Amino acid sequence: MHNNKLIIVFVFMSIVIAQSEQQSHTDTEILFVFAIVSVICCISLICICFCLVYFIRYVGFGKEGVRSGSFAASIMDPNTSKGSYFAYAQSVGATGYYV
């Protein structure tokens, strides 16, 4: 009878150890997937930033200023103020940086 209790305890401990090993393996997989998703998100963000700079330059905000005949020239206001979206887009088009 005493041996049966020992066997039950041994089986129970084996199940607990197996579940804890499985859980730690699952945590490792979750961290691995999280790391992959984080890297993909960072790469995507960098690509989006580069694409936005090229798009801003494409619509007419160039390195030398607003291109004549472009979309940017058509929406240009003579009273463009410092800090406006138009000025910000021109700054990004001229420098290539999000300042």
Distances (CA, A) of 75 to 10, 34, 69, 80: 78, 43, 10, 10
Model confidence pLDDT, tens digit, residues 32-84: 888 888 889 889 988 888 888 889 999 999 888 888 899 998 888 888 888 88
Q: Show the tokens assigned to 67.
A: 């291109």
Domain assignment of residue 87, given as a range: 2-95
> 72, 68, 71, 69: which is closest to 80 by C-alpha?
72
The number of folded domains in the chain is: 1
Residue 86 has pLDDT above 60, yes or no: yes
Model confidence pLDDT, tens digit, residues 17-27: 666 655 556 77
Q: Per-residue confidence at 1, pLDDT binned at 50, 70, 90? A: very low
> 45, 49, 73: which is closest to 61 by C-alpha?
73
Residue 5 has pLDDT above 70, yes or no: no
Residue 9's pLDDT is what?
A: 65
pTM of the model: 0.56
